[in-house]
Amino acid sequence: MTATLNRRATARVRSEVSTEATAPPPADPVATLAAAPAAERLRRQFAAVRVAFTWFGVRKALSAEQKAQTAEQFGADGGFLSAAKKLLDTKHEAFGRVTALRTQIVAYWKGLTLPYPDPGVRLIRQDDVAGFDARMTGFRAELDASVENLDAHYAQLRTAAADRLGRLYDEADYPPTLRGLFGVEFDFPSVEPPEYLLRLNPHLYDQERQRVAARFDEAARLAEEAFAAEFARLVSHLTQRLAPGPGGERKVFRDSAVENLRAFFGRFRHLSVRGDADLDRLVESAQRAVAGVDAQAVRDSDALRQHVRAELASVQASLDGLLIDQPRRRVLRLGRPAGAGEGVRG
């Protein structure tokens, strides 16, 4: 009896050892994510971010009476006339600083993010959130300081407006101060279905999950199209600059032509979720074409110009075909059966 029990125990141990030896190793989370569809990688690695501005409008429509007076001068029907007056000189240096900051903020936000179907919302890598928060807080402080400076010139701007507008000038169009009338805010809205909905109505929650999955599938497509369009523009510009002029002369070739393309490569590596293998391949080909290429060397060497141009022309030809084929790809994506492809559920 004892011998039988010992044999059974030994067999069990051998079986457990054999099972452990043949069991697959635990999945690598990084490798698993890399193999996931683009929309799923986008959903796991990115967060939604929204930027909104408060901005004092410097144009105001003329009143009905003013439009009627203007129409009368031209023998026109006031009901078919649209006219507005400009309240402040936006070319003033102080106003220009405020406007330039808005342009910088939008460029920074869009340069660090990917498009999302919901208006005013874009997607940012989760590991970029802290840096974005710090930079935007700095932008907000700069904007407040610039508005303070603009307000110091406000009386001067109003006096100039009164001179230029003549009888169209109306004191009521001008607030006492410009402080608080320009500003920027940002937040990180949730684009996932709320968990409380699962408790209240599981069926509605499932519908929301499907809606969000479709949103991210669309976001992946928008990202591919945005990258492809920007890439095509940069490659086309550089190729044209490398081509000889009508008389065979060299065209002006600036450092920015190469620098802008290299900046694109950096953003593409950082933000792309690699949803289009053809686009990835073309970007790699363009990178090889300009790898180690110095703008001055391109200006000095006809052979180098011709070589880089030939490489990029090949990329451009393939890229043109890719852009033409995009509507068909979209139709195929939207026509997939539920549960197939890149949609994410839960």
Q: Where are the domains of the chain?
A: 38-187, 201-334
pLDDT at 178: 97
What distance in Å separates the CA atoms of residue 279 and residue 315, rounded to the nearest whole number?
Answer: 10
- Cβ neighbours for 320, distance < 8 A, ≥ 6 positions apart: 232
Q: pTM of the full predicted structure?
A: 0.79
pLDDT at 9: 47
How far, in Å, are 59, 179, 287 from residue 101 at the CA level?
A: 20, 16, 32
Please answer whether residues 60 and 88 qualify as being in contact, where contact means their C-beta atoms are separated by less than 8 angstroms: no
Q: Secondary structure of 256-302 in the HEC alphabet? A: HHHHHHHHHHHHHHHHCCCCCHHHHHHHHHHHHHHCCCCHHHHHHCH
pLDDT at 34: 55
Strands (E), the chain: 46-54, 59-61, 84-86, 113-115, 121-125, 183-187
Give me 149's structure tokens.
């400076």
pLDDT at 223: 93
- Cβ neighbours for 128, distance < 8 A, ≥ 6 positions apart: 112
pLDDT averaged over 10-residue windows placed end to end, the chain, 346 residues: 48 46 52 69 96 95 83 79 91 97 97 95 97 98 98 97 94 96 97 92 94 94 93 93 85 87 94 87 93 86 90 90 66 41 34
Count Cα atoms within 13 angstroms, Cβ side, for 271: 25
Give me 74's structure tokens.
């031209």
pLDDT at 311: 93
* Residue 172 DSSP code: G
Tell me how many degrees the CA angle 34-38-44 measures, rounded to the nearest 5.
Answer: 70
Count Cα atoms within 13 angstroms, Cβ side, for 199: 3
pLDDT at 32: 53
Provide the residue count of the chain: 346
